[in-house]
Amino acid sequence: MEGFDFLNQEVGLEYCAGDEEIYREILEGYVEEDRRADLKKYLDAEDLANYRVTAHAIKSTSLTIGAEELSAKAKALEFAAADGDLAFIKENNDELVSMYTDILTKIRDNL
């Protein structure tokens, strides 16, 4: 699909059996399910269990659309939450949110 060169469309389309229409629908859903407020809420509350669930969701859905770098960053934070490593999360959350915001904006702009 044109305009989505910031994503690994090959990976995304693989999850959609090669169907571009389904891929577009998944991209629309990805934007609608913006989880940035949840990340902030759970980090502010130091609620690592729910932060972990949210990071896991971002990891999985990002990989599904082909946002591999974002998925890897979310995975690192998911594992840190599982390990109770609040310092790592506080150190890396802003970068995750920045990457996530960038992907969301680019998808929104290209849909």
Judge contact between 24 and 50, C-beta under 8 A.
no
Domain total of the chain: 1
N- to C-terminal Cα separation, the chain? 10
Q: Which helix (H) or strand (E) holds 94?
A: helix 86-110
pLDDT tens digits, the chain, 111 residues: what are they? 888 999 999 999 999 999 999 999 999 999 999 999 999 999 999 999 999 999 999 999 999 999 999 999 999 999 999 999 999 999 999 999 999 999 999 999 999
Task: Determine, yes or no, domain membership for 98.
Answer: yes
Residue with tokens 């904006």: 105
In a domain, 65, yes or no: yes
Range of the domain at 90: 9-105
Name the residue with tokens 């659309």: 65
pTM for this one?
0.94
CA angle, corner 42, sides to 41 and 43, nearest 5? 95
